[in-house]
Amino acid sequence: MITIRNSGSALRLALISAAAVSLAACASHPKPAYPTTQPAPPSRPVEPPRSPAPAPQPEPVSQAPLPGSERDFTINVGDRVYFDYDMYSVRSDATPLLDAQASWLKRYPAVQVRIEGNCDERGTQDYNLALGARRANAVRDYLVAHGVTAGRITTVSYGKEKPIDAGTGEAAESHNRNSHTAIVGGARMQ
């Protein structure tokens, strides 16, 4: 097992291995596990857990993703951006990743995506469904404003039903307030 103290690299490694595992299991929509070992942000409102930067060199532990594939998108672009507590505006630190998503989607115009809005558990179900829908639509609107055809994008809210971090406290909650861009069709097969 490779361990690297730099959290950004550790995240990338985790994403690669998770994607590889998902592919091995023939999962159609690999959902990378979020590492729970990141240093906890100090307090609310917090800095985001940084999303993986675009275009890393693939580690030798795994085959390089085929351009235009779902793995390419997940690993080289990044499929999740994060939100502040009870907020749905796209954060400034999320725009580089969403810009990269828009570019990638314009490069592969057959790809269809579903934007999935997620919330932390510090809210009630109905309200969180509505809040998750706001987050998904904020990301959708951003991608459309940056040239992605609206008809290629659907949205859904999972409310607080799909936490990616099973922990409690602000660190876990900040991970669980996110929007996930899932490829649902048109990507090249790996």
Partner 1 sequence: MTHFTKRSLLTALAALPAAALLAPAAHADIEVNVNRGDVQPLPIALPIFSGGQIGADIVGVISANLQRSGLFRPLDPASFVERDLTIAVQPRFPAWQQIKAQALIVGQASLVSGRLEAGFHLYDVFAEHELGFANHGTGSGGLQFASSPENWRRLAHKISDAVYERLTGEKGYFDTRVVFVAESGARGSKIKRLAIMDQDGANPSYLTDGSAVIMTPRFSSNTQEITYMELRPEGSKIYLLNLETTRKESLGDFKGMVFAPRFSPDGGKVAFSVERGGNSDIFVMDLKSRATARLTVDPAIDTSPSFSPDGSMIAFNSDRSGSPQLYIMGADGSNPRRISFTQGRYTTPVWSPTGEFIAFTKQTGNQFHIGVMKPDGTDERILTSSYLDEGPAWAPNGRVLLFSRQVAGGGTKLWSVDVTGRIIQPMPYPGSGSDPAWSPLLN
Pattern 1-20, binding to partner 1, x per CB under 8 A?
A: --------------------
Which two tokens mark 175?
């991970």
Residue from 50, 114, 152, 188 binding partner 1 (CB under 8 A): 114
Residue whose tokens read 């793995």: 71
CA dist., res. 26 & res. 39, Å (int) = 32
For partner 1, the closer CB: 76 or 177: 177
Beta-sheet pairing, 112-118 with 153-159: parallel
Burial class (CB in 10 A: 0-12, 13-18, 19+), 154: middle
**Nearest-angstrom CA–CA distance, 129 and 117:** 8
Judged by beta carbon, residue 72 or residue 165, the one nearer partner 1 is 165
Q: 38, 51, 157, 178: which one contacts partner 1 (CB under 8 A)?
A: 157
List strands edge to edge, sheet with 80-82.
Answer: 80-82, 178-185, 112-118, 153-159
Residues 6+ apart with CB under 8 A from 127: none
Q: How far is the CB of 121 from partner 1 (least distance, A)?
A: 7
Residue labelled with tokens 């109905």:
126
Q: At its nearest, how many Å lie between partner 1 and the CB of residue 133?
A: 4
Q: Which stretch binds partner 1 (CB under 8 A): 45-53, 76-84, 102-110, 160-168?
A: 160-168
Closest CB 63 distance from partner 1, rounded Å = 27
Contact call for residue 116 and partner 1 (CB under 8 A): yes
Residues that bind partner 1 (CB under 8 A): 86, 88, 114, 116, 121-127, 129-131, 133-134, 136-138, 140-141, 154-159, 161-164, 166-168, 182
